[in-house]
Amino acid sequence: MLDIGPIHRKEYELDADRSEAVVIAEAPGRVHYLGEHGEPKAGLFLSSAIDRYIRVAVSARKDSSLRFYAADPEERKRTTLVNLKYKREDRWANYIKVAIHVFAELGYPVKGLNFTMAGNIPQHIGLASSSAIEVAAAVALQGFFKAPIENDDLLNRLIASQKVFFGKQITPIDYAIALSAQEDQFLVVDETTLEVTPVQSSISEYKILVMDSRVPRLGVEEELKERRHNIKKGLELLAQKKPGTSLRDFVTADLIESMGNLPEEIRRRSMHVVQELRRVYDAEEALAKTDFQTLSKLILHSHESLRDLYEVSCPEIDWLVKRAQEIDGVLGSRMTGQGFGGCTYTIIKENAVEEYMRRLEDYERIFGFHPVIYEVKPAAGTRLVSAEPAKQLG
């Protein structure tokens, strides 16, 4: 990844002797292994931060301008605090604005500031690159202002600020992962409480490959909106016969007994959510016990459920998962992300990678898409990379 300190100083013509403070922070991307497509605001995830990061540098300006520079595409944006609002044409800079808004609302002297951003998280494939920008910018500003803000408070303020800028409430899961992750740990994240439970990684003999299928994803949001409506309706119907405030209050037997009472599509969607919750708990236990056989079955059944019950997979993704699971040395493979294309992850031994790559050649020949592979591993969360003291805060 680019060393953005010198890049930042060159872009904004800062003194080379470091008399002008530059604070740099980095935040990771993440992968969800189990738990996606659960009940909104009541999800349970098995996830990890990954060793791909966004870095954001910040320094003071002598005027009141807010300047933004993305080093990778060499793009520049600008605004002022008075005009700090979402602008579609500002794209990536809007995520830095979210963090600026947090500190402006807290009363810190947000006047003229320079920002530089760079990173190696692949964008637009569901690895949380956008939230990484927000968190990295927020932690950089936290260091710049020496702000005594606890992670829980910062998380909640980012959520509120995100809603101001983008007009919708987002899941705070990605913030929680970025702020809580530790190296070589999986995380069980409870969306209802934002409690993060670390699970020591026991898969050091395996690699994790995230594969972008390159399948175009069209009309995804409408499809997912329909499924969320199905889940909500399923809970309402189930609660008529058995008390419950979320699908966590129900088990598979409740869904089986509901046959004939729930519309079949709603029952299937609800069944996926109920069973996926159980899979996350079982996977946590399997990882703790280094029970790879159980973990492998859980990953397999999770993908089958996403394919058959929640119906967010597609032929290309199913082909990739099936072919990967056939390889000796693959612990598990499953779709990850919003679905209808997008990515898979595969947990695989080194000696099986060559065969995995060979099968991807067949994929390109059959479907016509050239997949892109990223090797990742569970990694540490957000941190200050460089924190020189700011001299002019008044």
pLDDT averaged per 10 residues in sequence order, the chain, 394 residues:
88 75 96 95 96 97 95 94 93 97 95 96 92 97 96 95 86 94 95 94 92 90 94 95 94 91 94 97 96 97 98 97 97 95 96 95 94 96 78 41
Decide: 265 and 255 in contact? Cβ < 8 Å: no
Question: Which residue among 63, 153, 174, 291 is the active-site one?
Answer: 174
Given this model, what pLDDT does residue 77 score?
97
What's the domain range around 342? Answer: 206-376
CATH number, residue 10: 3.30.230.10
Query: Is the same domain home to 63 and 172?
Result: yes
Asked if residue 163 belongs to a domain, the reply is yes
Helix then strand then coil, in percent of the chain rounded to 5, is: 40, 25, 35
C-alpha distances (whole Å) from 340 to each of 317, 347, 357, 370 are: 8, 21, 22, 17
Which residue matches tokens 């830095």?
A: 96
Query: Is the same domain home to 135 and 50?
Result: yes
Query: How many Cα atoms sit within 13 Å of 192 on the Cβ side?
Result: 10
Give tens-digit pLDDT for 227-252: 999 999 999 999 999 999 999 999 99
Domain count, the chain: 2
Given this model, what pLDDT does residue 168 score?
78
Q: Is 174 a catalytic residue?
A: yes
Decide: 38 and 234 in contact? Cβ < 8 Å: no
Give tens-digit pLDDT for 192-225: 999 999 998 889 899 999 999 999 988 888 999 9
352's tokens: 């099986």
CATH number, residue 298: 3.30.70.890
Query: Is the same domain home to 270 and 190?
Result: no
Asked if residue 393 belongs to a domain, the reply is no
Distance CA 278, CA 224 (A): 22
Query: Is the same domain home to 42 and 185?
Result: yes
Asked if residue 107 belongs to a domain, the reply is yes
C-alpha distances (whole Å) from 203 to each of 111, 219, 294, 300 are: 47, 36, 13, 17
